[in-house]
Structure 1
Amino acid sequence: MSDDKSKTGNDRKLISLEQEYELRDWTQSLGCTEKQLRAAVEAVGNSADAVRKYLSGRK
């Protein structure tokens, strides 16, 4: 999936696991490992809010 940098509003709402820089930014922002991030997205989908909630419940 190509990353359209002109549509940055969705970047804050949806987590993409396709780009290295997005993985890095999301793991830093959420305070988790790449493995934890991938598991969370698989469990609840790529909504940033859903992933935050999922990860906060596992700590």
Structure 2
Amino acid sequence: MADDLSKRGPQDRNRVNTSEAWELSFWSTKFGVTKDQLIAAVKAVGPMADDVRKKLGK
């Protein structure tokens, strides 16, 4: 199946994937934090977006 470029954002919007550079940029922009802050939050609480959001105080 070809890529659908009209769909933006991560495939699984419930998980923060710090392994992909574009997802790292997406989530750090969404949460308004640096990439390093995002990576530290994911390491602390895991990849679930709600947990990361709470950890970052957003």
How big is the alpha-carbon RMSD for the aligned residues of Structure 1 and Structure 2? 1.7
CA deviation vs aligned residue, 1:10-55 (integer Å, no higher than 9, x gap)? x210010111110000000000001100100010000000000000
| Structure of larger gyration radius | 2
> Taking every aligned residue pair, what percent have the same amino acid on both sides?
44
Q: TM-score by structure 1 length?
A: 0.76
Can you give the 5+ residue segments of structure 2 that lack an aligned partner in the other structure? 1-10
Higher helix share: 1
Count, aligned residues: 49
Runs of 4+ aligned residues of structure 1 deviating over 2 Å after TM superposition are: none
Q: 1:18 and 2:24 equivalent? A: no
Gaps of 5+ in 1: 1-7
